Amino acid sequence: MSIAYLLGKGSSKPLRYKPNIPLLLVLSIIPDIDIIFDLLTGAQLHRGPSHSVVVAIVAFIPFFIVYRKKAIPYFLALISHSLIGDFFIGGQVQLLWPLSTTQFGLQELGSYYISIFNPINIVLELTLFTIATVVLYKTNDWKVFFTNNKSNLILIIPIFTVLLPTTIGYPFSKPLLTTEPFLAIAHLFYLVLFSIAVLKALLSIYKHRFKPPINSKG
Ligand SMILES: [Zn+2]
């Protein structure tokens, strides 16, 4: 999410465009929707079709046609998940599905395997998380999570597909919070931030729906 945020932010600057931050973050995590899919169906598709760059390009064609250059930050946010995050950490990504089921990653290139729990990954994740949080704060982007914006409801997706399951346990054998508290820091941060945003959006919808008419005389 940090990489996608920084990439989305950086690429939208020359376009003189202010991207939707929650959407960037959601797109960056969308490929991992296969974690919950595997859990519910018993399939083993993780790092498969949803992580394919081919699928991402096809899915983005309509958005490139309609929004042109403005779709770039969102596209980068989506593909950064497979091409940067998962490629270097863990690998085994089917980048070219359905054209090929070959798995790609740093390890597949002949380098050594870096797992999620490898200290290199923990340091990298914490560093990127810190940089992203500083940028989020300095640019006032954090404020978007405290607005009554209905589009913030999309943050329900990362809460229930990735943040909550990994913090509790799945797909790991034990909760991330007990096995790798350092990795859990960022998870908890985003979990709290996103929950506030979703609750605010829900509350504003509720208030809007049940607000009495202004000129009501009872
Ligand atoms: Zn992934």
What pTM does this model have?
0.89
pLDDT at 42: 81
Centre of ligand 1 from the C-alpha of residue 180, in Å: 18
- How far apart are the C-alpha atoms of 23 and 6, rounded to whole Å? 13
Short-list 136, 155, 138, 164, CA closest to 2: 136
pLDDT at 108: 86
Centre of ligand 1 from the C-alpha of residue 90, in Å: 9
Centre of ligand 1 from the C-alpha of residue 9, in Å: 21
Centre of ligand 1 from the C-alpha of residue 30, in Å: 8
Centre of ligand 1 from the C-alpha of residue 212, in Å: 46
* Residue whose token pair is 């350092």: 182
Centre of ligand 1 from the C-alpha of residue 217, in Å: 56
Centre of ligand 1 from the C-alpha of residue 195, in Å: 22
**Cα distances (angstroms) measured from residue 47 to each of 35, 87, 196:** 9, 10, 30
Q: What is the pLDDT of residues 53-66, one digit of tens each?
A: 999 999 999 999 99
93: β partners: 104
Centre of ligand 1 from the C-alpha of residue 97, in Å: 14
pLDDT at 209: 80
Centre of ligand 1 from the C-alpha of residue 32, in Å: 5
pLDDT mean values, one per 10 residues, the chain (218 residues): 95 90 95 84 85 96 95 96 92 92 88 86 94 96 92 92 76 74 86 95 86 61
